[in-house]
A and B are shown apart, each in its own frame.
Chain A
Amino acid sequence: MRNITFTQIIRETLEAELTRDETIFLMGEDIGVYGGPFGASRGLLEKFGSERIRDTPISEQAITGIAIGAAVAGQRPIIEIMFMDFITLAVDQMVNMAAKLHPIYGQNCPLVLRTTPGAGRGYGATHSQSLERIFCGIPGIKIAAPSNARDGSALLQTAIRDNNPVLFLEHKLLYPMRFEVDDKLPEPTPFGYAKITREGEDLTIIAWSYMSVLALQAAAKLSNDDIEAEVIDLRTLAPLDIDTIIESVKSTGRVMIIEEGPLTGGFAGEIAAQITEQAFEYLDYPVKRLAGDDLPIPSAKSLELNCIPSVATITKAASDLALAD
């Protein structure tokens, strides 16, 4: 076992995959000499050269579209969109080209788009958003949202080996976090399997990406008050492991879904709808969503942390739900 950061395991995974398959290449802004804004590709340029670690101009739509063309022609590109907010500039190519290639034209599009959602660093309204909701309603795009180093590596390997476009979320607060992992990189984990990261019978808490970290911390606090929460880390949003969710809800009868992005129009609403459709009669209390405020993310720390779920607000909301009559 060893203790390493999320950044380190992403870097090692990229290196291992680039070594394994020479059709894989990286493309994005400041990923080469600079090593990526969070250091996830540091050292790769020296090892693999500028043909395979391609620094680009600031042109998100072209980066994405060029990668899609290369993917259809036989390469396996991994592109990086520096902040998830910038993905708005690449949405056309993902939605109108990548997502249509297999169902309409019968073509493979083995593309991974790595990007960094999330607030908490005071970067302000256009460097802090969680925009996965844009893609959750687009059939044809897979979405992975790991919450720890082991899953980060295992899911990234799966994403790279998949023959479809994959949106891969690396929450910016995960990068400096340290995790206990095996000396060897994990085996790839298949998409569509949520992980129950803590068992409990009083309520179910569902989260993904960095919110899964907070959910576990909240669950530990709840346990001090004799409330045992079952925590489900979704790991992938598309495909969604609804079966694991339904099974847990049937046993606890109470469920809260945590989402960092704004409440209105989020993916938590979709999960809530599916739970209501499939397990309404098992619910002791209405489904609860705890999400970001319906506001842009402000910069000042005192404002920013007040806008998104925290261990304190998750603990409070979960406690209220568990104790409600």
Chain B
Amino acid sequence: MLLKAAYNQMLLIRYFEESIERLFLEGRVMGTAHTCIGQEAVSVGVATALQPQDAMTTTHRGHGHFLARGAEPAKAMAELFGKSIGYSKGRGGSQMMMAPEMGFYGSNGITGGSIPFATGIALDASIRKTDRVSACMFGDGASNQGVFHETLNMAALWKLPVLYIVENNGYAMSTSTDQGLANPCIADRAKAYNIPGVTINGNDFEEVYNCVQQYAEAARQGEGPALIECMTYRLSGHSRGDPRVYRTREEEQEAWKRDPVKTMEKQLLERKVLTAAQIEEVQQKTTAIIDKAIITCENAPPASAAEFQNSLFAE
């Protein structure tokens, strides 16, 4: 059941992201977006390992995290359509959505910007002595920001219930990790803060799920933070319009052989969780969900300018 549910979610993310790329090409959505094609197993592995009361923060590449946490596809997609039904009422766009009621605390579009934010949520959990764990998602690029180091040090000092989950997808926009990391192993940085650091296969749902569950439980027991490096690959470009001049098509073809969605389908068949016909059925259902979301977005009213003008401050 776990695998089947995970497959449903991974496919939903894959189709969501593919539809976003298509909608951009067709000129039907605005702004920018960063898709996570190839990284679905991380999103779903982490989200499946969390409890309902837990928190998750994300990055500029956050659709997958949000959908895995339970976002309604139409309300997330509506941010790209600039529609009022969006999670941020159309004000946020692709990178700025938040839904605390489902334990999702979003991103602010600044690389590394959510690292202290997630840690503050963990500080609140620590003060109120709830059993909430905060899952902080970020990329290899963000691990080079100063705030990563400042924050991990403080979280380790205070033993806060927060997991730092880095999706090492090989590229910070166009800069490869070869060019951006003096030590290619990001998990090694955990040693500097005296916390556990592990590197795992981020394209394998079960490996991510098991690892995150283990460290989430430890954090819940008061053992403090951990740094989990998920090795993956961004099969899509950085954002729309990325000509991908910084890598070869051959490299991409090799990476497609490790496609987490295909890997999952293979596992489902081998373990006889699903038949080929059942997989096809999931694909059709998922296509229908995405198609319906697009129609919902196109029919929704535009974001309200008058309401936004009066929104600057809280009461």
Please tell me if the beta carbons of A51 and B113 are within 8 angstroms of each other in the complex.
no
Please tell me if the beta carbons of B314 and A65 are within 8 angstroms of each other in the complex.
no
Interface: A254 (CB within 8 A): no
Contact partner of B120 (CB less than 8 A), chosen from A57, A73, A105, A108, is A73
- Please report the number of residue pairs spanning A and B whose Cβ atoms sit closer than 8 angstroms: 125
Please tell me if the beta carbons of B311 and A93 are within 8 angstroms of each other in the complex.
no
The chain B residue sitting closest to A109, CB to CB, is: B314
Interface: B110 (CB within 8 A): yes
Please tell me if the beta carbons of A65 and B311 are within 8 angstroms of each other in the complex.
no
Chain A residue contacts of B147, Cβ below 8 A: 61-62, 65, 92
Interface: A64 (CB within 8 A): yes
Interface: A74 (CB within 8 A): yes
Chain B residue contacts of A57, Cβ below 8 A: 150, 153-154, 157
Interface: B72 (CB within 8 A): no
Please tell me if the beta carbons of B116 and A102 are within 8 angstroms of each other in the complex.
no
Roughly how many angstroms separate A92 CA and B89 CA in the complex, as a whole number? 24
Please tell me if the beta carbons of A69 and B89 are within 8 angstroms of each other in the complex.
no
Chain A residue contacts of B122, Cβ below 8 A: 69
Interface: B151 (CB within 8 A): yes
Chain A residue contacts of B106, Cβ below 8 A: 105
Contact partner of A73 (CB less than 8 A), chosen from B89, B113, B125, is B125
Interface residues of A in 97-111 (CB under 8 A from B): 97, 100, 102-109
Interface residues of B in 148-193 (CB under 8 A from A): 150-151, 153-154, 157
Roughly how many angstroms separate A61 CA and B113 CA in the complex, as a whole number? 10
Interface: B306 (CB within 8 A): no
Roughly how many angstroms separate A67 CA and B119 CA in the complex, as a whole number? 9
Please tell me if the beta carbons of B313 and A69 are within 8 angstroms of each other in the complex.
no
Interface: B146 (CB within 8 A): yes
Please tell me if the beta carbons of A62 and B124 are within 8 angstroms of each other in the complex.
no
Please tell me if the beta carbons of A104 and B150 are within 8 angstroms of each other in the complex.
no
Chain A residue contacts of B121, Cβ below 8 A: 69-70, 72-73
The chain A residue sitting closest to B117, CB to CB, is: A69
Q: How far is the CB of B37 from chain A (nearest CB, A)?
A: 26
Interface residues of B in 126-147 (CB under 8 A from A): 127-128, 146-147
Please tell me if the beta carbons of A163 and B315 are within 8 angstroms of each other in the complex.
yes
Q: How far is the CB of B56 from chain A (nearest CB, A)?
A: 12
Chain A residue contacts of B100, Cβ below 8 A: 72-73, 107
Roughly how many angstroms separate A201 CA and B86 CA in the complex, as a whole number? 54
Please tell me if the beta carbons of B125 and A96 are within 8 angstroms of each other in the complex.
no
Roughly how many angstroms separate A33 CA and B214 CA in the complex, as a whole number? 37
Q: How far is the CB of A163 from chain B (nearest CB, A)?
A: 4
For the complex, count residues of A whose C-beta is within 8 A of B: 38
Please tell me if the beta carbons of B154 and A100 are within 8 angstroms of each other in the complex.
no
Q: How far is the CB of A217 from chain B (nearest CB, A)?
A: 35
Interface string of B84-95 (1 = CB under 8 A from A): 000011011000
Instruction: Given A71-B120, A73-B121, A164-B313, verify A97-B108 contact (CB < 8 Å).
Output: yes
Please tell me if the beta carbons of B116 and A93 are within 8 angstroms of each other in the complex.
yes
Please tell me if the beta carbons of A66 and B91 are within 8 angstroms of each other in the complex.
no
Please tell me if the beta carbons of A102 and B314 are within 8 angstroms of each other in the complex.
yes
Please tell me if the beta carbons of A75 and B127 are within 8 angstroms of each other in the complex.
yes
Interface: A137 (CB within 8 A): no
Please tell me if the beta carbons of B127 and A51 are within 8 angstroms of each other in the complex.
yes
Please tell me if the beta carbons of B115 and A65 are within 8 angstroms of each other in the complex.
yes
Please tell me if the beta carbons of A73 and B124 are within 8 angstroms of each other in the complex.
yes
Chain A residue contacts of B127, Cβ below 8 A: 25, 51, 70, 75
Roughly how many angstroms separate A93 CA and B123 CA in the complex, as a whole number? 17
Roughly how many angstroms separate A93 CA and B147 CA in the complex, as a whole number? 10
Interface: A59 (CB within 8 A): yes
Instruction: Given A68-B120, A69-B124, verify A100-B108 contact (CB < 8 Å).
Output: yes
Interface residues of A in 17-76 (CB under 8 A from B): 25, 51, 56-57, 59, 61-75
Interface: A190 (CB within 8 A): no
Chain B residue contacts of A163, Cβ below 8 A: 313-315
Instruction: Given A67-B120, A72-B105, verify A104-B110 contact (CB < 8 Å).
Output: no
Interface: A176 (CB within 8 A): no
Interface residues of B in 268-315 (CB under 8 A from A): 308, 311-315
Interface: A140 (CB within 8 A): yes
Q: How far is the CB of B97 from chain A (nearest CB, A)?
A: 8
Interface centre among A25, A72, A109, by most chain B C-beta atoms within 10 angstroms, is A72
Interface: B67 (CB within 8 A): no
Interface: B12 (CB within 8 A): no
Chain B residue contacts of A67, Cβ below 8 A: 120
Q: How far is the CB of B141 from chain A (nearest CB, A)?
A: 15
Chain A residue contacts of B118, Cβ below 8 A: 69
Q: How far is the CB of B131 from chain A (nearest CB, A)?
A: 14
Roughly how many angstroms separate A136 CA and B151 CA in the complex, as a whole number? 28
Interface: B96 (CB within 8 A): yes
Interface: B219 (CB within 8 A): no
Roughly how many angstroms separate A138 CA and B236 CA in the complex, as a whole number? 35
Please tell me if the beta carbons of A70 and B124 are within 8 angstroms of each other in the complex.
yes
Roughly how many angstroms separate A102 CA and B146 CA in the complex, as a whole number? 26
Please tell me if the beta carbons of B108 and A69 are within 8 angstroms of each other in the complex.
no
Please tell me if the beta carbons of B88 and A140 are within 8 angstroms of each other in the complex.
no
The chain B residue sitting closest to A60, CB to CB, is: B150
Interface string of B210-222 (1 = CB under 8 A from A): 0000000000000
Chain A residue contacts of B153, Cβ below 8 A: 57, 59, 62
Interface centre among B92, B97, B108, by most chain A C-beta atoms within 10 angstroms, is B108
3 tightest A-B CB contacts, nearest first: A69-B120, A65-B116, A73-B124
Please give 9 more A-B residue pairs, beta carbons under 8 A apart, in addition to A69-B118, A107-B98: A62-B116, A63-B154, A64-B116, A65-B116, A65-B117, A66-B154, A104-B92, A108-B314, A164-B314
- Footprint of B on A, CB under 8 Å? 25, 51, 56-57, 59, 61-75, 92-93, 96-97, 100, 102-109, 139-140, 142, 163-164
- Between A and B, 5 residue pairs with Cβ closer than 8 Å are A66-B123, A69-B123, A72-B100, A102-B314, A104-B91
